[in-house]
Every structure is written in C-alpha cells, then in structure tokens.
A and B are shown apart, each in its own frame.
Chain A
Amino acid sequence: MLQIESRQFAVERGLFACIQCGKCTGGCPMAMKTRLNPRDLIYRVLVSGNGFNLEGREELWDCTTCLTCYSRCPKQVNPMEAILAMRGAIVEKGKIHPNVKTALESTFRNGNPLKMPRSDRAEWAKELQLKAFPDGGAEYLFYIGCTPSYDPRGQKVARALVRVLGSAGLDFGILGNDENCCASEVRRLGEAGLFEAMVEENTAAFTELGVEKMFTVSPHCFNVFKNDYQKLEVGAKFSAQVQHYTQVLADLTRDGRLKFNGSFEQKVTYHDPCYLGRHNGIFDEPRAILQGIPGLELIEMDRSREKSLCCEGGGGRMFLEGTNPGTRLAQQRVQEALDSGATILATACPFCLLTLEEAVKHLNAEEKLRVLDIAEIAERAL
C-alpha cells in the first residue's frame, strides 16, 4: 500500500489551516477537466486518521503546478506543494509512470530530460561564436536550459535572444556542453533525491565558476534557481543573482541600450507563463518590452496577469498525458487568443511556446494566429 503518515504530513504542511472554502478548486484549471480537487484532497488527508492511501490517485499527476490554488488561498495553504510531496512519496516507493522514469533517467545520465547527448548541448550556438563563461570574462552567465538547447523550436528562441542581447551590447557568456539541467522538472515530478543531488552538483559548479549574475530563457529554470535551490541545505551556497531574460530586456530598453529601429506591425496578445507570472510576480516587464516595440499593438485577453490560464505544460506535464488528455488547456488558451482578435500570441516560456503552437495546429488556426516568443518579436523589430 502506498500510505503516507497523513497527520504529520498535514501538520508539516500547514494543512490544518484550511477552512475548506474551495477557492483552490474553484480556480484550479485541472479541476475543470479531471478528478483533481485540491480542497477535497486536503480534507481527505485531514480526516484519514494517520494513514492516507495514495494508491490509485492518478489525478496527482494531473496537477500542472500552475499555483492558482495557492495564489487564491486566503489561509496561505499551498495545495500545490502538498501535491508535489505526495508525488514524492509515490516516487520514493518506485511506483512511477514509465514516461516519468525515462525523463528522470535521462536527466540523471545526460543532464537533460529529453534523451539527448550532452555533447550536443551547444549545437544550437555553433555558428554564433559566443563567449565561454567564465574564461571569456563576461559579466553575465546566459543559462540556456534544456528545451532551448535541444528542441529546434526552442533553439530559434535562444538564437533570437542572442541577437537581441548583442544589439544592446550586453556582455554575456555561456557554459556550452558543460551546462547541466536545472532540475526544475525533476522536482515537479517528485524525485526529491535526484533533485537534491543535482542542486548540490549545480551549486558547486556555479560557485566554482564564480557566477554572480545570470539569466535564463525559461521561467522554469529561473524559478528553480531563484526560489528552490537555497531552500535546500546543499544549495544554500547558491548566491548568483538570477533574472529571467524579460527582466534583462526590460532593463535594457529602459536604459536606452536596447533600441528598436524596426517595427512589428501586429496585434499581439501576451500569455503570462505560470512560472513567470503567478510564481514570481513578473507581469510588467514582458509587457513593457512589447509596448516599446514600434507598431506593435498589445491586446489583453480577459485571463491575463494573475488570472492567466495555464497551458498545461508545467509540473512535468511535458512528459505525461494526465488522466484526461482530451482537450488540452492550451487549446482553450489559443481560442481565447483568437477571440481577442490578436494575430500573434506572444509568450516567454519554451514550454508554453511548444504547447500553444501544438494547439494552434490542432485547431487549424495557423493562418490566423502565430505563436512567438517575446525574444523573437524583439529580434524582428531590431
């Protein structure tokens, strides 16, 4: 049996504070389409005496870690973290889904969950002649992340960003094939042990390299470095100042270092990635960049900022179907973008980019709507 000691579990995670208001479930995008009900889950943990059985609770893998639940909770209970801890308990017992297993094994072996060789990690940049960090003496470490390193769509974003940063004269270097996965998805998939090992490894490497300032393409990498590393004892030494690239670009635009001499004459709507917006409160910087681009008209969808609808790409869901693969949230999101009258759906996250683009194809809307990363839009307006 897959039991957790539920009383201790609930006390440690503050679940007794829950007043069963249902705000978490009322806002949870997965509760709309799956059995996942965070309030109900908490209540069942609370009333289960001291043994709560996780067997058969497939819905635990439905959570996209969008954090809507926590952001709505009036009592500061964090259902998402409770769910991740339950996943951890399952993984610890070795009862994991084969897809999850492959992703985790690949991360352990190759430093990425995508089953790609380490030696290909810097392929995307082979024609770009970028400075190597730290030998090139650069000010910033540009941390690329797995999807932008390997996925052809993601690579385009990384290259666009390089051009934009170059035009602003930002001094940065990359780690090339020495870059290792940030382990964000490892944590979301509940593999606490592997996560700890990788935090230890990465923290040691960054400390040795003397990284002081760094930025990432993906909000997921940004989030884990910024919020999760230092919480572990083995990551306590992690001291680099981490930014998401939209923060860097917004600063460069504000200081007048990044100038858009071209224009981008399109109606653009912006999808707030969960890990940039709700997780880290970064709503204004991406918009500031877009609004600074000549010709660009920014339209807001109803669900924007704090209310952004998750694309269903987070929480390890890039590697898992979930219990209701039917309509992905990304399709609903693309429909909202179409309804807004925009011709471009902008985002700032490689996962969002892939899921949304997939959804556009699925809805046969390629003629009407294109999905672009902010870095790509910025590049077109240089």
Chain B
Amino acid sequence: MSDSIPSSANGRGAALVIGAGIAGIQAALDIADAGFKVYLVERSPSIGGRMSQLDKTFPTLDCSSCILTPKMADVPRNPNITLLTCTQVEAVEGQAGAFHVTLERQPRFVDESVCTGCGLCTDVCPVITPNIFNAALDSHKAIYRVFPQAVPAAFVIDKRPSPCKITCPAHIPVQGYIALIAQGKFREALQRVREAGVPFVGTLGRVCYHPCESECKRADWDEAVSICALKRIAYDAGRDDEKPQPVPIQYEEHVAVVGAGPAGLTTACNLTRRGYKVTVFDALPSPGGMLAAGIPEYRLPREVLNDEIDYVLAQGVELKLNTPIGRDGGPSLEDLRRDHQAVFLAIGAHGSSRLGVPGEDLPEVFQAVPFLRHMNMGHEANIGKHVAVIGGGNSAIDAARCALRLGAEVQLVYRRSRAEMPAAPWEVSAAEQEGVKLTFLSAPLRVIEKDGHAAGIECIRMKLGEPDSSGRRRPVPVDGTEYVMDVDTIIAAIGQNVESDGLGVETKWGQFVVDPLTLETSAKGVFAGGDAVIGPASVVEAIGAGLQAAESIHRYLRGMDLRDGRSQDHPKSKDIQISPAEAVKRAPREHMPELPVAERINNFREVELGLTAEQAMAEAQRCLSCAVCSECNQCVTACQRGAIVPEDAPRRIEVDVGAIVVATGFDVFDPRRKPEFGYGKYPQVITSLEFERLASASGPTAGRISLNGHPPNKVTFIHCVGSRDRSLNLPNCSRVCCMAVAKQAHLAHDRLPGAQITVFYMDVRAFGKGFEEFYDRVRKEGILYRRGNPSEIVRRGDHLFVRAEDTLLGEPVEVESDLIVLAAGLTPRADASGLAQILHLVQGTDGYFQEAHPKLRTVESSVPGMYLAGCCQGPKDIPDTVAQAKAAASAAMILLNGKGANHASN
C-alpha cells in the first residue's frame, strides 16, 4: 500500500524531521510555528526519545517529564505538523529545496484515530514481554502503551516473527492457540486455528510431522513445546456438535477443485468462506484423499476425520465423489474449465513405483498405497502370515504396522541404514515396539515363484558407497551375499507418483509445474498444489498449498495482482532472537500416554491417547511467546471501539520536502562488552539509564531506589564505561556521564538516607554553565569521590566488590557494594551507517554524523539541505541539544524561504 500526503499544505514548503526526541520535537515545533509544513517521522510508537526516560535533569534538577510532556503535547496540536510514528525513511532523492522522500510505516495494529487509550485490551492480553522503556526492569503486555504520557496515546501491538509459525507450511498461528490453551480456553483455541483457514485441526494434531517443533526456541532451554499434541487437544477438548452455517454466495464465479484431500478441501473451505460456489470432484467413493485412503485408523480415527470433513462441507462446499477427471471415462479438464471459472488440481500422488524385479506381478505382491486404500475403504486384505515390506518411508511403516495388526509376522527390508530412513523416527520406533523386525542394508533381487504364487524373496546385502545427488550415501550390493527370506506376502512401498496423464497440463516427472508463489499452472485459470506438485509429502504442506491456492484464485477471479504483497521469504528461525519476560525455569515437556503394545497389535484402535486438560495447560505455559503478540485475537474481542487491526501491514508513504533535519539521537553502550563488570550477570550492576528508570516516579519502582524490594545502602558509581576506550574503538568522551553521575549520586543520597555513596572517576568534566557549582554541591552532601577507574567487579559469597586502584593513595582497594551503577557511554545509533547511506551523510571516525565545518557550520551536514540536531552529531546534554535543534530549524527555514540554496552549497 502507499499513500501520498500533500506536501506543502500552505504553499510555503515543507521540512522532514527524522527522529522525535527532544531535538526533533524542538526543531519540528520551531519550523511549524514559523508557518512551514513539517513531517515528523519517529521510528518508535511514541515521541519523546531518551529524555522521556530520565528522572531529573542536571544541573538544575528539573523533572524531565514535567518539562518535556508539554512540548510533546504541542506536537499533535500543531496543525502544521504531520506526526508519523512507527515510521522510517527508506529512500531520499533530489537535492536541497526539492527532496523526494519514501517512508515506510510499520504496522501498529491499532488505529490511532480510533483508539481511546482505555486499556481494556491490555487487561485480556495473555502475553507479557520485557518493558524496554523501563530498561527491562519490569514488563508489559503485548498490546501496550509505551509510557503513560506517550504521544500518540494510542496503544500498539508488539508483533514479531515466531519460528513455529514461520516454519509451519500452513503458517498456523501456533503461539495464539497455545496462549489460549494456557488459559484453559480450548474452544477459542480450536476456533483460532479454524479462523486461520485450517479446517483439519484434530487431524493435524494427530498426523502432522510438526516441522515447527524442530525450530521451537524452547529447545534452547530444555525441550521443544509439544505444539502438535496441543493442536490435538484444542480439537478434542474444544469441539462441539454445532456445525457451521452455509456461507451465502457472493460472487457468480464457480470454482472446481479436483481432489478431496487436505489441499483440495482447504481451498474449497476458504473460497466458500469468501463467498464463492465451489464443487469438489474426487475419483474415490469417500472424501479425505490420503487422510482417508492412506493413513491408517490407529493413527487417525475416522470419526475425527469425518467430523472435520463435515465441518468443511457444512459451509456449503459441494462434493462429487466417484468422479475421476481426465481418466476412466470421467469428465475432462476442458469440460471443467467450460463450466468453472477457475480450477484447482489437488490430485495427490496415488500411483506406485514398481520394484523392478522378477516375480513382481505375482498375486501375493502388493503395492502399499492400494493395499492401504483397500483396507481403509473397508475391504478385507488377503495377506499371509509372513510379510516382507520393502521400503523405509512412512508408507512402508504404515503398511507394516497394518499387516502386523492383521496378525502377520512382519519384516521390513530397507536398502540403506537406519540413519537414512525417510520415515519419522517416532513412527519407526513405534513399529519396532509393536514387533516389526527391521532389516537394514538389504534389497530384493527377485520374488521366488512356486506354482504361480510367491514363495519367498531373494535379497542381497548392501553397503553404503559414495553420496549420490540427494547427498545420501548410495547403497551398493555386496557380491556373494545373496540370501532368501521365507515370506508368503510382499508389500512394496518404494515410491509414489502423481497420476497426471490425461489432464493436459505441463508436468515434470509427472508432477504439475507451477509458479511456487501463486500455484498457477501452464493453463490459464488452472492452479495446482499438494502432493500433485511436490510429490508425496505431508498433510500440513498440502493444507499450506490449499491456503495459497485459495488466495490466488480469489485474486485471479477478482482481477487483482497475484503477486502483490506476497512472498515466501521469511526470517530464518536461527536469526530470531528472543528475550523472555521472565527467567525460564526448566520444565520437561508433557508426554501423551499411549495404548500399551499388547492392547494395540490386534486391532486398529488409536495408539496415542492425547494430553489431559491439566497437562495441556502446563505444556502451553512452556511456550516462550517468541513473536510477543500471540495473535490470539482476544484483544480484538475486548476492544469496544473496534480499534484493533490484526491485518495491519507495512505502508509506503511518499513526501516532498525542501529541507531535512536529522535528529536520530544515540544508543547507550552495552556494558556486556566489558565482561569484567559482570553486567547482565550480577543483578546489582545496572547502567545509568536503568538508574534513571529506578529513580523515576513513573518507573517500575515508582521512584523508590530498590532491587528486589531492598533499598541498597552501599552504592558505587563507575565513570567512563564504554567511553574514552580505545580498546573498544570508542575513543570519545561521552560528555554527559560525569554530570549524570553527579546528579544520580545526589538522588541516591537524597532517597537512601544513610547510604554510603562512592564515585570512582578518572577526572570530572564539569564544563557547562552551573556544572562545577553542582559538582561542588554534590560532594558537600557527603558523597565520596575516589580517583581511579575500577578494573573489575568480583563476587565473594553473596557480596560484590568493586576492585580499583585509588590512584591518590597509590594502592589497590576493594569497595563492597550492593548497587553498582555503570556510567555507560553514549554511542552512535546501531543503525547510523544505514541511515547515513540512505541520506548520503558522512560519518566521522567516531561514527556520529559529521557536520560541514567543526567551527562555523555546526548544524549543516555534509549534504546541502540536510541539518543535524542533537546527539546524532555527537554526545551532548539537553541544553546543547535544544540549542542545536533551534539552530538546525533556523537553517532549514532559511533554505525554505528561498534564501538558503546558495548558502547551502558554498
């Protein structure tokens, strides 16, 4: 999406101000007050910047928010200012006087113009996350307001990628239904998955190979969350007998779906919900595709499958069974295309690969897929007492476990070793437990015939040779190791293929060729997905394809662009960093009970028995909320104004401006880079910014300086952490820390009567107006300044000691401390070089944006028409920042007035 906002409302030119800390706010207000249009762009959800985090300001001890809040409030009131929060600059073209700027606005998920800030949403939100504004000293919900005085006052949702949802081929909102289960809301959990377009919840909860669990972040602490088992209980405990009502038809186009497997039915379900008439054709006598014909009942009870298929059909999907398309005398694809405006081919992979050995056509040699289909459709299977299953995939295991249940002794023969088996490991071990014998590195040579019947199979031993094109080591026969297996039945399960002949659509190896993003085939209006495209794969991939196809078909029928805004690029889960709100306590994953082996091997009863409700709730609580917002949508229900926009997406905004003021501020040095101080390891060691939040009346402790409820009584401050440090390539002085420490030492003295307060310093730089006087005052209060910069902090027992040399004594000293404040330096923004590239700004060797002349052009940047304000140009305090902001504003206005173009370029 992209918007264009008229650029100069009053015809007098406009300016862009990037960053809305005190510098950006001040510059914007000045320029706007002079009658120019201003776009004030802020990356975070609220304006205010670092200053809003401070408690008191040196040297006058004014309350920071008391002096800042009125300025913040002026911004939305000023008719000349357009405030764009959650927004960043993407590109700038043009030159001084005529810049064309592209902005990208990240979704807030709450409509600013509607939200009243009532907070009902926050009350119901189940997710907590560290409160970054409070330096992570406390937490807030996934939907929150940055701080009470935030501007705009609207709430915002913190929504990020989570590994499970990204990895899930159907992108099911995993964390959402898990969050609901954690609260015991099983019905809502089931509803949530269905809302996401996935009708097969109980089915997936039983048969999914759950690739999500392999990426689950919880495994970094102990074990992955049982995502799949939780899906199962969402269905088992959340289902009811109510069927959905048919959805009224809105559009005249009619869609044909070929194949009533999970891909086809998912597409049908979603298109029906959007108001299309959909007919599903299937060659078999019952719907479900491989779910019904392939997967055995002991893994997927038919009652569950049928209930979920009924759920799809009840919405108005029309089903035509016993209707093969393009073969066996059924209608052709062309017939379908005449009567339907779009077709989705989801015919699965129901053909079988031949063994290619003599004797294969004897009556006792079966193919796994027809064997399973035959049995699953309720027919008697005529197998003997000694069965060999050839193959190592899931179909082989299913066939073996079925044959066993029919009373046979079963041997599985696989030509590579266990490590190469494509079957899921838990399926393999279940088969073993039940009594299936596994023979590895062995392959059939011929089926031994006796009187027209199979009387055994001759095999040969294999060994693993060089890796083949699939990267697996190629099995090669070992000469002279032939042997005979005494069996009366052989089930071949060595591969499935797609029966795509006769449809007239382009294929490769029998599989339909499609555009991977849109699923379009070579025939216009014909789409394909599922096993029919990727070969025998999985239910959840088929469902994913079904969702993709529904979206494409809708766009196609509505004449919309098929690709716009869609992509298959997701962040890699290993790149996703998470910060749980609370320390993660080790808790092993909950396991489902299973039917004892003795009770399962002679029947088709379900083997896995599901979690109990209590187990499920405990298991759900193990989820770490990687994406922060879980997408449970409870806030959507709670908000009475309808302010929440779950599908909010990034937006492009283009503006034209004459001048740009850059006011992006600074970052705080991360003291973890100086491990000798143990920051991040000792809770008693904090940064000066964290101290500001501890001391602030609106902070996590309401201004009481305390750690875990205990006021400290030995407080030590350490100067210059991450400043003036060449070993970290941070050579500059941060300019504000000396005075900030003086202020904080004063606050500590004031709020902690009787506490021993020590400041370790190298030298005190009290250079500004009133600074030295303030430093005098603070020392006189009884604060001990010791010269010498500490080398390390060590712990003995429960006590922390700051180790330093008191250089005036010339002796090493140790000062016991129960709160240690590191005066962490200021650094350029982590993304400063990124912005520098977009704006073509020059950075100094220290990383800050470089001014055009160090003495005479202190607010002009290296690019004419762009001006610098505040700490993005170098560390400075609030008075200097405000002064520079006003200067930058005035320089911008000179240019906007048409006088500055010459001046700017010389």
Contacts and interface: CB of A to CB of B under 8 A. Distances in A.
7 contacts: A22-B806, A23-B791, A24-B805, A26-B792, A37-B810, A72-B676, A74-B724
Given A26-B812, A72-B676, 15 more contacts: A19-B724, A21-B720, A21-B788, A22-B787, A24-B805, A25-B805, A26-B789, A37-B810, A40-B810, A72-B791, A302-B794, A302-B796, A303-B794, A306-B675, A307-B794
Interface in A64-100: 68, 72-76
Contacts of A20: 762, 807
Contact of A76 (B727, B789, B797, B810): B727
Contacts of B675: 305-307
A193 to B, nearest CB: 32
B725 interface: yes
B792 A22 contact: no
B803 interface: yes
Interface in A315-348: 339
A76 B726 contact: yes
B641 to A, nearest CB: 52
Interface in A260-282: none
Contacts of B789: 21-23, 26, 74
A26 B726 contact: no
Contacts of B791: 22-27, 68, 72
Nearest to A301: B795
B792 A27 contact: yes
Nearest to A76: B726
Interface of A: 19-28, 31-32, 37, 39-40, 68, 72-76, 302-303, 305-307, 339
B795 A23 contact: no
Contacts of B813: 26
Minimum-distance CB pairs A-B, first 6: A27-B791, A26-B791, A22-B805, A25-B805, A21-B789, A22-B788
A32 B812 contact: yes
A60 B762 CA distance: 26
A135 B810 CA distance: 58
Given A39-B807, A72-B676, A23 B790 contact: yes
B804 interface: yes
Given A27-B792, A306-B675, A307-B676, A74 B804 contact: no
A31 to B, nearest CB: 5
Interface string B780-801: 0000000111111011110000
A73 B724 CA distance: 11
Nearest to B721: A74
Contacts of B797: 339
Contact of A22 (B724, B727, B794, B807): B807
A59 to B, nearest CB: 13
Nearest to A74: B725
A266 B790 CA distance: 36
Contacts of A305: 675
Contacts of B806: 22
A8 B481 CA distance: 82
Interface of B: 675-676, 720, 724-727, 762, 787-792, 794-797, 803-807, 810, 812-813
Contacts of A303: 794
Contact of A31 (B676, B787, B812): B812
A277 to B, nearest CB: 11
A72 B797 CA distance: 24
Contacts of A19: 724, 762
Contact of B812 (A25, A73, A76): A25
Contacts of A24: 791, 805
B684 to A, nearest CB: 13
A262 to B, nearest CB: 23
A27 B762 contact: no
Nearest to A70: B727
Given A19-B762, A306-B676, A72 B807 contact: no
Contacts of A68: 791
A43 to B, nearest CB: 9
Given A40-B810, A307-B675, A307-B676, A22 B795 contact: no
Contacts of A31: 805, 812
B726 A75 contact: yes
Given A21-B789, A32-B812, A72-B791, A26 B803 contact: yes
B762 A21 contact: yes
B727 A74 contact: yes
Contacts of B724: 19, 74
Contacts of A306: 675-676
A27 B674 CA distance: 13
B733 to A, nearest CB: 11
Contacts of B720: 21, 74
B789 to A, nearest CB: 4
A23 B812 CA distance: 10
A26 B727 contact: no
Nearest to A38: B805
Nearest to B675: A306
